[in-house]
A and B are shown apart, each in its own frame.
Chain A
Amino acid sequence: MANRIECSYENLSSSFLLQSSDYQKQFCHLYAHRLAEMTRLLKPLAQSKWGEDIPIMKLCELRGEQDVHCIIIGTIYKHQAHKPSILRDISEENQLAPQPQRQNYSEPGDKVILEDELQRARLQGEHITGRNLATGIVCAVKGGTDSDGYFNVEDMLFYESGPQKSLTASKPKSKLVLVSGLDQLQSHNYVDALNMFQYWLSGSFSNSSDAASTVRLIVAGNSVRNTAVATVPTLQVARSQANANDTVQAVSQLDSWFAAWAQALHVDVMPGAFDPANFMLPQQPFHKCMFPLAGKLSSFQAVPNPYSCRVNNALIVGTAGQNIADLLRSTGLESSLEALRCTLSWGHIAPTAPDTLACYPYIQSDPFIMKQCPHVYFAGNCEKFETELLVGSGGKQTRLVCVPSFSKTQSVALVDLETLDCREIKFQVEAE
């Protein structure tokens, strides 16, 4: 019986663990901290890119003067006519029939506005592609004001997730398995695929050499269910109780799965959008009482969503996919991979939080800012497997991985942490 290789591991998710739970605070603090923090990070980048001749100014310093060439650092606010609004929902409840929810509320006519600490200005220019921007992005824009009050953008600069440590070649090659959307409640539909997956993990399918180098499995959310619980207006109590029982049984089953898998390799389990966890980002790790069997093993751990860790010098950052799904709703971005790439270049894991994505009202920090560029950046619960090796400024290399939902595709992603190669492993059963 072969042994799996050992490698260094460091959990870097402490910033996503909530120390207190004060939900009374306003979200303005979060935006204020995001702007302040990213202004500090963007300033040197802007000066190095555009030179120190161009002044970095505040919008209030322009005072309506025209043809002032400057750099403004601020937060994008996208004015969208169809953006969900709780106030509108309430008003419509009183009078009108509810409007059907849109899958995507981005339109070409969306107005892009830049806000700094005190003021706002509407942006226009060739570089401004409103459809591909989202509320909450902090960026630096170079340009000047015109007589109509617009800020004509000549160039834009994003943080691009900061510097990256070079990936040193590690002697024992280590690989990472990413899986999401196990959807235990529907697992009876793909029992054989699951069975193949677990014996593949254990190295039974004549793949023992590959399995030995696979050091860690990250379960990126939606392990219990992959869709929202159907809400029925009538018989709500009975329905919710039935669902609760389902969930308890599903968690119990998952516990036995994870306990078995954790004997073969290290397993990190993240909560997802439809899992029995807190709704707001960052989602806190599952309580240890939920997994009494797996929790006994030190190779199993429940981790938050987003999750960040370092395995063999490779920085791995990822989410269960809520940030990507929300971006796809609010922008014109067409694929999960594109959205993932954008968040990396914007230097923020979840820019739409707290606007359209639920998020804890931080008052002293914004933990979603990516201050260090990851080597592997993934999002779980995507429609299909997609991957790209993004080469950024300064030769930074990041493997972007859209981890497909296992319940939909019966596939997982395998990432080589040395070469950052990534491939999909599919487990399928041909229809009989």
Chain B
Amino acid sequence: MSLQQALDDCLIDFDRRVLVTDLLEKYKLTYKEAHETLEAHIKEQERANTNKFEKRFLVHGMKANGDGELYTIVQGEDKLKEWLDKLQNSQSQLYSVEIAGGSKTAAPIFKPMQHVEVKLAKLEQRAGAATKPVANGVDHKPLNGNAVTTKPAGVKVEPTKATGSKLEPTNSTSSKVESTTSTEEQKKSSPTEQKGGKGKAAVAATKKGSINSFFSAAPAGKAQPPKETKPAAASKAASGSMENFLKKQPTSSESKKSPTESVKKELTAAANTSVQLFDDVESEASSDEEEKLDKLRRKVVGSGDESDDGGTKPTTSKRRRISDSEDEEQPQKKSTETQSKQQQQEEEKEAMDVDAAATNETFLDDDGFVITVRPKKQTQAAAAATKKKTSPTAAASSAPTTKKKSPPAAATKAGKLAKETPKTKQSNISSFFTKK
């Protein structure tokens, strides 16, 4: 819309002071054009109506004493004439207009100009001014040092594979069978491989600090499944449920986790490892069968922790809780432990496994007694396991469960064993706490 049209349509409110400079900004005119249009309109208005306008003029001229140039704003035509006489080479233009006797004008506000009549030939944007957003003057550059930077997933996966391959020599040191089983499982389950690598990466990222090591211990355990399978693979004496458990673990993770999911989980794990751990538990514990397996595994892990705790790491209740909820086991730092201790652990786990399997057969009879019937295989296996046992603590570890779940009427071999348990149980608990 042109200025003339706006004036004709009475869109300009002269009750307020109207500056010519405002008009030239709004209608993109030169000062001369705006001034002439406005002046013509006002003269016309004054001729037609009784409206009178208060006009202010911009007077420009040289001072008489040669003191320089002057731009001044004068009000009214009388003053204008006075100033035009006073200055040399003077000229005047309309500066502002308002209705005479109108409301008091508001305090003037300085508006930076946008419309430029003489502009720079090469007005350039400074390089990088528009493209580089700055938040509080801080550039988001990757920092060296301890700062954790978020990298693309691909970048993270690479070191995990490398670390996964690094783990292999440590496994191979224990025994050939172990190393083969571990490599087989690694080949089978790429997600677990990724998990293990991720865990290693997390360990590398957060090596120091107790809390960091606490969180890093859990994912590091994900590299452990091969190691945790050691006792089962080596002894072959474990129960069928234990075998199922061992078979199910990689398959369940394989079936449920697509590679993309695993990558996603890696990302979340990078952000917060503990969250990732619980997510794993939630996703895996969907079916009843798997829940049972989880229980089994937790018990195995729990007993393993008990025996491990005395060796290298102090166990806290919190940590225990985390490791229980977690599907994985302790970080593999146990390769340096003695062979005898490993054997002892294996035997303990077998015993625990046997006992745990026995609980599956517990039921209430017609008289309301709790009866536990064990499968023969398991009892035999348990007997074989107990025969192998050398330490009294290991024997005690199997006893509590049998005693609890065997009814008084049932006088089996297991019952005999149960009679021996009270002493050994006490000693086991006391030794457990002393170890702690």
Tell me the A residues contacting B by CB distance below 8 Å: 1-6, 187-188, 191-192, 194-196, 198-200, 202-208, 211-212, 256-257, 259-261, 263-266, 287, 289, 295-299, 385, 411, 414, 423-430, 432
Q: A195-B19, A202-B117, A425-B68 are in contact. Are A430 and B126 (CB under 8 A)?
A: no
Q: Is B291 an interface residue (CB 8 A)?
A: no
Complex Cα–Cα for A428 and B122 (A) = 32
Residue B411 lies at the interface, judged by CB distance under 8 Å to chain A: no
Residue-wise interface mask of B (79-123) relative to A, using a CB-CB cutoff of 8 A (1 in contact, 0 not): 100010000000101000000000000011111111111111111
A212 to B121: give the CA distance in the assembly, Å.
10
Residue from B19, B74, B118, B130 whose CB has the most chain A CB atoms within 10 Å: B118
- Residues of chain A with a CB closer than 8 A to B68's CB: 385, 411, 423-426
Q: Given the complex of chains A and B, what is the CA–CA distance between A206 and B94 in angstroms?
A: 12
A256 adjacent to B112 (CB under 8 Å): yes
A263: chain B residues at CB < 8 Å are 114, 116, 119-120, 123
B359 in contact (CB, < 8 A): no
- A425-B125 contact in complex given A198-B112, A205-B93, A263-B119, C-beta closer than 8 Å: no
Q: B137 within 8 Å of A by Cβ?
A: yes
With beta carbons under 8 angstroms apart, the residue of B19, B111, B112, B124 that contacts A261 is: B112
Question: Residues of B contacting A199 with CB < 8 Å?
Answer: 21, 31, 113
B129 at the interface (CB under 8 A from A): yes
Name the distance in Å between A209's Cβ and chain B's nearest Cβ. Answer: 9
A-side contacts of B117, CB under 8 Å: 1-2, 202-204, 208, 211
Binary interface encoding of chain B residues 50-65 relative to chain A, with 1 for a CB under 8 A from any of its CBs, else 0 = 0000000010100000
* Interface: B201 (CB within 8 A): no
- Say yes or no: is B428 at the interface (Cβ < 8 Å to chain A): no
A to B contact number (C-beta, < 8 Å): 145
Query: How many residues on B have C-beta within 8 angstroms of the other chain's C-beta atoms?
Result: 45
Q: B283 near A: Cβ within 8 Å? A: no
27 contacts between A and B (CB under 8 A): A1-B117, A1-B118, A2-B118, A4-B118, A4-B119, A188-B108, A188-B110, A196-B73, A202-B118, A203-B116, A203-B117, A206-B31, A207-B60, A260-B113, A263-B114, A264-B120, A289-B137, A295-B126, A296-B126, A296-B129, A423-B68, A424-B69, A425-B70, A426-B69, A427-B71, A429-B73, A430-B72
Q: How far is the CA of A66 from the CA of B24 in the complex (A)?
A: 79
- Report yes or no: B58 in contact with A298, Cβ–Cβ below 8 A: no
Could you say which residues of chain A place their CB within 8 Å of the CB of B436?
none
Write the nearest CB–CB distance from B93 to chain A, whole angstroms.
7
Complex contact A187–B112 (CB within 8 A): no
* Majority-rule SS of A interface residues: mixed
Contact partner of B74 (CB less than 8 A), chosen from A1, A266, A385, A430, is A430
In the complex with contacts A3-B119, A204-B31, A206-B31, A257-B112 CB distance below 8 A: yes
Contact (Cβ within 8 A) A202 B113: yes
Q: Closest approach, in angstroms, between the C-beta of B72 and any C-beta of chain A?
A: 5
* Assembled-state Cα–Cα distance A263/B31 (Å): 18
Q: 17 more A-B contacts (CB under 8 A) besides A296-B126, A425-B69? A: A4-B119, A6-B121, A195-B19, A196-B73, A199-B21, A202-B119, A204-B31, A257-B112, A264-B119, A289-B137, A296-B129, A297-B125, A298-B124, A298-B126, A424-B67, A428-B73, A430-B79
B32 at the interface (CB under 8 A from A): yes
Chain A residues closer than 8 Å to B31, beta-carbon distance: 199, 204-206
- B229 within 8 A of partner (CB): no
Contact of A3 among B21, B112, B118 (CB under 8 A): B118
Residue B155 is within 8 A (CB to CB) of chain A in the complex = no
Nearest residue in A to B91 (C-beta to C-beta)? A206
Chain A residue at smallest Cβ distance from B59? A430
Considering the complex, which residues of chain B in the window 233-274 have a beta carbon less than 8 Å from any beta carbon of chain A? none
With an 8 A cutoff between CB atoms, is B190 at the interface?
Answer: no
Which residues of B lie under 8 Å from residue A385 when comparing CB positions?
Answer: 68
Lowest 10 CB-CB distances: which A-B pairs, in order? A203-B118, A260-B112, A424-B68, A296-B129, A191-B108, A204-B31, A211-B118, A3-B121, A298-B124, A203-B117
**Interface membership of B344, Cβ < 8 A:** no
Q: Interface code B132-165, partner A: CB below 8 Å = 1, 0 otherwise?
A: 0010010000000000000000000000000000
| Contact in complex: A265, B67 (CB < 8 Å) | no
- Measured CB to CB, the nearest residue on chain B to A387 is B68
Q: How far is the CA of A199 from the CA of B115 in the complex (A)?
A: 9
Query: With a CB–CB cut-off of 8 A, which chain B residues contact A188?
Result: 107-108, 110
